[in-house]
Structure 1
Amino acid sequence: MSDQPLAGRTVIDLTTALAGPYATLLLAGLGATVIKVENPAGGDVSRNNAPYLGEHGLSLARTGEADMSVSMLVRGRGKLSVTLNLKDPRGRAVFHDLVRDADVVVENYSPGVTRRLGIDYAAVREVNPRLVYTSISGFGAQGGPGSGKAMDSIIQALSGVMLTAGEPDEGPVRFGLPIGDLLAPLFAVIGTVSALLQAEHTGEGQHVDVSMLGALTSLMACEPFDAFDAVGLAQRTGATVPRLAPFGVLPTADGHIALCAPTDAFAAGVFRAMGRPDLAADDRFRTRDERVRRADELHELIRSWSRVRPTAEVVAAFTAEGVPAAEVRDPAAAVRDPLVREREEVVPLAHPRFGAVADLSATGVPIRFSGARASLERPAPELGEHNDHVYRELLGYSPERLAELAEESVI
């Protein structure tokens, strides 16, 4: 038996793009057998996302048949790929065979699509009442504004998050990380595992319904932005947070640092690091309320000190006084941090045929267990790579039936 937490569980993966595949990636990393069901005509849309990795490294366009999208190389790890045309009645029959002994289905179709295809929760429940059926959508399984389709930027816009970052007099700021796409699958995995635990006691599966908008807006509500607005505190403050002063991103001679010093003790440490311990007794900055009242003055005073010193010197001075501070790193440096590499929270990425032909990084499973293991050891599959294994070996289909289904583009 595997020492992974979800070993022995089977997940039928109907997802595409990012939100759904990230959820099933995590389930695979926790040990589930994830069978990715893809359309025979092209498969997951992320298979066609540039850049591509091939025998000779990275390129913006495919240079050979074996080239794979970096997106798929990241999101497809740990999964088996089968092809299946769910619009064909024979394809739906095959799908029912797949879910009959499965534990989980995960889908991120637009609302209404699974019902039209005859693969919605109501239909699947008749085949396997113990099954956990997880839906990830823009606005919930019942749909939402317009067509019900959603992209990350749409969710960021509707959630309010675009107006929490940036300067007060600037336009909305789109987060570079697709946070709407990446947050919903985290809640989907929590819901899926919780429903599996409940099914062990009740013998009944259920429908787990997670919306991208709801997930991101729920996090927005963790910070009381409406209360800030009601009492006159600015919701958008740019690089600094005046209500926690000194707090924010500050320039150095060769970059930037993040500083978090909202308490009296931390603020005193900032002043000592600057060689100005007297400021801790200064009536302008002695208490938290006074520091907040004069946040602009305080932040400018710290900037005038930090901007003429190297980043390493500034961080060292603050941390020596016990003040939380760090350099602002670019993504390439961040994903190569020895700490996150040692903990396998970020891992090297290789092509399944050609190996590590480029220096690339991919998400690991950022959970460490004392009595279990989480890992993504299987490389991303080629489209339909596991048709024979799944359909013939696991489902018991005859070679003749497989040949017929392939000839008629059902698989």
Structure 2
Amino acid sequence: MTKKRILDGIKVLDLTRFFSGPQCTLFLAGLGAEVIKIDDPRVGDPTAFSPPFAGPQGVSFERRSPHDMGIAYLKRARAKKSTTVNLKSTEGKELFMRMARSADVVVENFSAGVADRLGIGYDVLREINPGLVYCSLTGYGSTGPARNLKAYDLMVQAAVGLMSITGHAEAGPTKAGSPLSDAIAGLFAAFGVVAALNYRQRTGHGQSVDVSMADCLLSLILDEPLDCYRELGLAFQQGNRIMRFSPFNAYKSADGWVTLGTASNDDWSTLLDLMGRPDLKDDPDIMSVAWRLSNNATVDELVSTWTATLATSEIEQRLHSAKIPCSAVRTIDDVLACEQTIARNMTVSLWNPLAEAAMNVKAAAFPLRFGHADVGYDTAAPVPGEHTEAVLREMAGVDSVELQRLRERRII
């Protein structure tokens, strides 16, 4: 029997571009919402035909065939429908209003104030659809002195302090390797939309959801007591270490790198046995967490002397058997081939609708599992504009004559 989906029947109008907004609506699509992308017919989705590309001849930074499409689009537009409407035109805005009357959710990541200037902000839309959930996703939110600043992930990581605590002091400010603020904000936005839908179900009222990339990232960073580091005599850039545990780092093995950490003295005592150094258990300094935290370099030298003599797989086997957390430092190729990744079905090959073929490019599958509901991206990214006619017929009551006129006037 086919399971129901979490957001079955929920219609989402997706006005987002680039990463943070499309990440939000991708998650909503994975939960079963009908996500309808709305792009400008003159320029379309900026990622659809932007590098890097995937096509019949492989991946490249140049578009080598008419069937090549942007990898970012093929990932972020999965399980969505694609329409085109010129929202800067009077007729296009009126079309959108007709669609919004029967929508459940609108998600946009314009700069602060742009939706209001276009005449499609929350205050306008709630008049025609009081139950609407309206999610705005911006770099710094809709309030505060930074609300009008343009922001990319690099700037947000810098603005909330993540770059000041990442890496090593001698390397200078370092960002995380992936665009975390975009991805995290997209997740928070999806969470906010689902929460608002739950609220609507209980009260009958829709509402706006204001998501700031900076706020979302800061809310995760400040679980660490960073404001206390100076008083504790700690450097802000801890590298791979964490201020509560020692040892806790990445260590060179005989054939690669391995991470390990001990969260208790029992774990540390077990590790000393595995390293052939039970004699150190009689040293009160070595057995003191406070001493080890203050003398991390000494502890790391002790551990790395041991790891350097063994293959990574041997270290993992010994530590896993002893219930001590550890992992090889895997490359992306290693991750894609990992038994755990495969067992969880966490990657899929991208389908290019123009080439009508699977690409040799992997994307992440939907990361949640439910016992009594289906989830996942059940369709590939669409051809841009593929669903314009069907969606406008259903949601805006447009007939064939009006469709033709709208195309001629380049409204769609």
Q: Normalised by the shorter chain, which TM-score bucket?
A: over 0.9
What is the number of residues matched between the two proteins? Answer: 411
Q: Per-residue deviation at 1:353?
A: 4.7
Residue 14 of structure 2 contacts residue 107 of structure 2 at CA under 8 Å; is this kept in 1?
yes
Residues 140 and 147 in structure 2, CA contact (< 8 A), matched pair in contact too:
no
Indicate the RMSD between aligned Cα atoms, in angstroms.
1.7
Identify the residue that residue 34 of structure 2 maps to in structure 1.
33
Matched residue, 1:333: 334
**1:178 counterpart = 2:179:** yes
Q: Which residues of 2 match residues 236-315 of structure 1 at below 5 A? A: 236-241=237-242, 243-315=244-316
State the distance in 2 between where 1:250 and 1:12 align.
48
Superposed displacement of residue 393, structure 1: 4.2
Q: CA deviation at 1:281?
A: 2.6
Residue number in structure 1 paired with 2:65: 64
SS of the equivalent of 1:348 reads: strand
TM normalised by structure 1 equals: 0.96
Give the stretch that moved more between structures: 231-240 or 125-134: 231-240
The alpha carbon displacement at 1:394 in A equals 4.4
2:197 maps to 1:196 = yes
Preserved contact between residue 50 and residue 70 of structure 1 (Cα < 8 Å): yes
Q: Secondary structure at the match of 2:35?
A: strand
Q: SS at the partner of 1:172?
A: coil
- Percent of aligned positions with the same letter in both sequences? 37
In structure 1, distance between residues paired with 2:130 and 2:141: 22
Worse-superposed segment, 51-60 or 131-140: 51-60
The answer to whether the 8 Å contact 1:14/1:38 transfers is: yes
Per-residue deviation, residues 313-361 of structure 1 (Å, max 9, x unmatched): 2222222222111100112322343323332333232223545544321
Cα distance in 2 for residues equivalent to 1:315 and 1:3: 40
2:403 corresponds in structure 1 to: 402
Rounded to whole Å, the distance in 2 between the matches of 1:269 and 1:24 is: 46
Larger mean CA deviation between 341-350 and 382-391 belongs to 341-350
- Counterpart Cα distance in 1 of 2:360 and 2:56: 13
Describe the superposition over 1:123-172 as per-residue Cα deviations: whole angstroms up to 9, x where unpaired.
11111110000011001123643842110000000010011121133311
Q: Structure 2 vs 1, CA of residues 400 and 336 (structure 1 numbering), >3 Å: closer, same or farther?
A: farther
Opposite residue 385 of structure 1, the aligned amino acid is E
Over 3 Å counting, the alpha-carbon distance change for 1:118 and 1:394 in structure 2 is closer
In structure 2, the residue matched to 1:8 is 9
Structure-1 separation of matches of 2:91 and 2:172 = 51
Query: Cα offset for 1:221?
Result: 1.1
Q: How does 1:155-234 map to 2 (within 5 A)?
A: 155-234=156-235
Structure 2 unaligned spans of 5+: none
Cα gap change, 1:186 to 1:91, in 2 (>3 Å): same
3-state SS, counterpart of residue 309 of structure 1? coil
* Residue aligned with 1:150, SS: coil
Aligned residue in 1 for 2:373: 372
SS of the equivalent of 2:327 reads strand
SS at match of 1:249: strand
Deviation of 1:36 (Å): 0.3
1:265-310 CA-to-partner distances (Å, cap 9, x unmatched) read 1111211221222222322312222322332111111112212322
- For residue 69 of structure 1, report the CA deviation from its aligned partner: 0.6
| C-alpha distance in 2 between matches for 1:398 and 1:356 | 33
Per-residue deviation at 1:48?
Answer: 3.3
**Structure 2 counterpart of 1:10, which letter?**
K
Structure 2 Cα separation of the partners of residues 376 and 127 of structure 1 = 31
Aligned to 1:105: 106
Query: Mean alpha-carbon deviation: is it higher for 173-182 or for 318-327?
Result: 318-327
1:381-392 mapped onto 2 (5 Å cutoff): 381-392=382-393
* Equivalent-residue separation in structure 1 for 2:23 and 2:350 (angstroms): 16
Q: Equivalents in 2 of 1:356, 1:309: separation in Å?
A: 44
Q: Structure 1: give runs of 5+ residues left out of the alignment.
A: none
Deviation at 1:372, TM superposition (A): 0.5
Secondary structure at the residue paired with 2:255?
A: coil
Query: What pairs up with 1:56-95 in 2 under 5 angstroms?
Result: 56-95=57-96
Question: CA offsets, 1:169-196, max 9 Å, x none?
Answer: 3311111110011111111111111111
Deviation at 1:27, TM superposition (A): 0.2
Residue type of the alignment partner of 2:253: T
CA–CA distance in structure 2, aligned partners of residues 191 and 234 of structure 1? 35
The corresponding residue for 1:53 is 54
